[in-house]
């Protein structure tokens, strides 16, 4: 293995901030992932895993170790009885995966269209949007244990998925490298339309019985309206998308927050466990941070209060300072501490 030295990480992320990696290596197969991890372990060098760079804030000082990018490509469909099984390697661009499944009339990923990044990150974050999340159709995840360098396959249950969470993110954040994800997709099934905004858009567009392609197109339009499609030419383009997760609270907390806001139209989404999910963007705006707010070279998107945006001259420190200001404002106003969605490399 011959890693490159002193590689700029900012161009490899959608935020476009951060310093250099002391060493950097693109792994294009399982063997090179194992070799890179062994190289780092043998030299006592810390190692971090990078994918498409759409959900990470790299520190201005960079990373004094090896950054291993899992650039393994390839996806295959095979018969799964009444369903189709789709195996996607970690380095596959996610929206291409969603598009391919929709074009094959396979249901399960249509609402996840337009999300930037690579497929390997989807089980880590339990990526979700517009009422759908990958945990609903993940069959298994192929991983490499960073300690033993042994490959194994984890079932859906073993991944312990939760809202925007999994064992890869909160339980064992440094243990596994995701190599591939297997999805069970339904042939010819009706699309998932459970999200109010999506349902309204389809109805307003005169689409009474939407196809999977109708839903994909609608999601792309809605994401585009919010600058939630990665576009370097968009003034809001340099972001991680949603910077905070939507908080899930008890019914009593939800009622208390509604009273504090004096707004009976507060968005709320009942959860299967009896709790309530609130809209972080709504809380941010009600705490006084409006769309288009700027603080030096960073700010909030002009179209979505949940997206922190970088402009010319922005640094990671600027992003994190604004995030903390917003977090503090929401906490002071509503008693809720927002949680970062992207991973922060310090």
CA-to-CA distance for 180 and 119, rounded, in angstroms? 8
Of the pLDDT bands very low, low, confident and very high (cuts 50, 70, 90), residue 259 is: very high
CA-to-CA distance for 117 and 13, rounded, in angstroms? 9
Q: Is 242 a catalytic residue?
A: yes
Which residues neighbour 29 within 8 Å (Cβ) at sequence distance 6 or greater?
A: 72
What number of residues does the chain have?
346
Q: What is the SS3 assignment for 176? A: strand
Alpha helices in the chain (DSSP H): 30-43, 94-103, 122-125, 156-159, 196-204, 212-225, 251-261, 280-286, 316-334
Average pLDDT score over residue span 48-57: 97
Give the fold, CATH level 3, of 239-333. Answer: 3.90.78
Is 31's pLDDT higher than 90?
Answer: yes
Average pLDDT score over residue span 5-30: 98
Is 321's pLDDT higher than 90?
Answer: yes
Average pLDDT score over residue span 329-341: 97
The token pair that represents 342 in the structure block: 């992207």
Residue the block writes with tokens 């994800």:
181
Q: Would you state the pLDDT for residue 48?
A: 97
Is 128's pLDDT higher than 90?
Answer: yes
Nearest to 216 by CA among 62, 93, 99: 99
Of the pLDDT bands very low, low, confident and very high (cuts 50, 70, 90), residue 1 is: confident
- Measured over the CA atoms of residue 221, residue 224, residue 228 and residue 230, the dihedral's sign is positive
Q: Where are the domains of the chain?
A: 4-70, 75-225, 239-333
Q: Would you state the pLDDT for residue 82?
A: 87
Catalytic residue among 34, 69, 164, 167: 164
CA-to-CA distance for 271 and 253, rounded, in angstroms? 14
75-225 and 239-333 share one CATH topology?
no
307 burial type by CB count under 10 A (0-12 exposed, 13-18 middle, 19+ buried): buried
Pairing of strands 298-300, 307-310: antiparallel
Average pLDDT score over residue span 28-35: 97
CATH number, span 4-70: 3.30.43.10
Average pLDDT score over residue span 188-193: 93
pLDDT tens for 54-89 read 999 999 999 999 999 999 999 999 998 889 999 999
pLDDT tens for 159-187 read 999 999 999 999 999 999 999 999 999 99
Question: Which of 62-66, 221-225, 250-254, 271-275 is the least confident region?
Answer: 271-275
Pairing of strands 128-129, 248-249: unpaired
The token pair that represents 332 in the structure block: 């002071």
Residue 185 has φ and ψ, to the nearest 5°, of -110, 145
Average pLDDT score over residue span 193-218: 96
Is 213's pLDDT higher than 90?
Answer: yes
Is 313's pLDDT higher than 90?
Answer: yes
CA-to-CA distance for 63 and 55, rounded, in angstroms? 16
CA-to-CA distance for 15 and 345, rounded, in angstroms? 13
Q: What is the SS3 assignment for 189? A: coil
Q: Would you state the pLDDT for residue 189?
A: 95
The DSSP secondary structure of 237-250, one letter per residue, reads -SEEEESBPPPEE-
The token pair that represents 206 in the structure block: 């005169």
Is 232's pLDDT higher than 90?
Answer: no
Average pLDDT score over residue span 1-12: 96
Catalytic residue among 223, 242, 315, 327: 242
CA-to-CA distance for 196 and 59, rounded, in angstroms? 37
Candidate ranges 135-144, 190-199, 269-278; pick with highest mean pLDDT: 135-144
Nearest to 178 by CA among 216, 215, 140, 209: 140
The DSSP H or E segment spanning 144 is strand 138-145
pLDDT > 90: what percent of the chain?
Answer: 95
- CATH architecture classification, 75-225: 2-Layer Sandwich (3.30)
């Amino acid at each position: 293995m011959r890693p490159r030295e002193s590689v700029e990480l900012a161009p490899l992320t959608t935020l476009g901030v951060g310093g250099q990696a002391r060493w950097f290596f693109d792994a294009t197969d399982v063997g090179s992932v194992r070799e890179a991890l062994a190289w780092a372990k043998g030299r006592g060098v810390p190692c971090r895993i990078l994918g498409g760079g759409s959900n990470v804030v790299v520190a201005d000082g960079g990373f004094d170790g090896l950054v291993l990018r899992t650039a393994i490509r390839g996806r295959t469909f095979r018969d799964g009885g009444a369903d189709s099984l789709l195996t996607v390697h970690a380095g596959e661009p996610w929206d291409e995966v969603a598009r391919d499944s929709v074009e094959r009339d396979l249901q399960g990923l249509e609402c996840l269209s337009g999300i930037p990044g690579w497929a390997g990150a989807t089980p880590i974050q339990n990526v979700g949007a517009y009422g759908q999340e990958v945990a609903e159709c993940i069959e298994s995840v192929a991983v490499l244990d960073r300690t033993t360098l042994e490959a194994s396959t984890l079932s859906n249950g073993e991944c312990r998925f939760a809202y925007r969470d999994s064992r890869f993110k909160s339980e064992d954040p440094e243990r596994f490298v995701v190599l591939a994800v297997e999805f069970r997709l339904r042939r010819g099934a009706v699309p998932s339309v459970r999200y109010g905004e999506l349902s309204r858009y389809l109805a307003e567009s005169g689409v009474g019985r939407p196809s999977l392609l109708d839903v994909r197109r609608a999601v792309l339009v809605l994401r585009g309206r919010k600058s939630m499609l990665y576009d370097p030419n968009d003034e809001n383009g340099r972001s991680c998308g949603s910077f905070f997760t939507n908080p899930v609270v008890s019914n009593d907390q939800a009622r208390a927050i509604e009273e504090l806001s004096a707004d009976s139209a507060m968005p709320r989404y009942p959860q299967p466990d009896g709790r309530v999910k609130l809209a972080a963007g709504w809380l941010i705006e009600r705490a006084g941070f409006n769309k288009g707010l700027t603080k030096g070279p960073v700010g909030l998107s002009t179209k979505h209060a949940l997206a922190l945006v970088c402009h010319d001259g922005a640094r990671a420190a600027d992003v994190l300072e604004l995030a903390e200001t917003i977090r503090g404002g929401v906490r002071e106003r509503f008693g809720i501490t927002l949680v970062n969605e992207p991973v922060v490399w310090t």
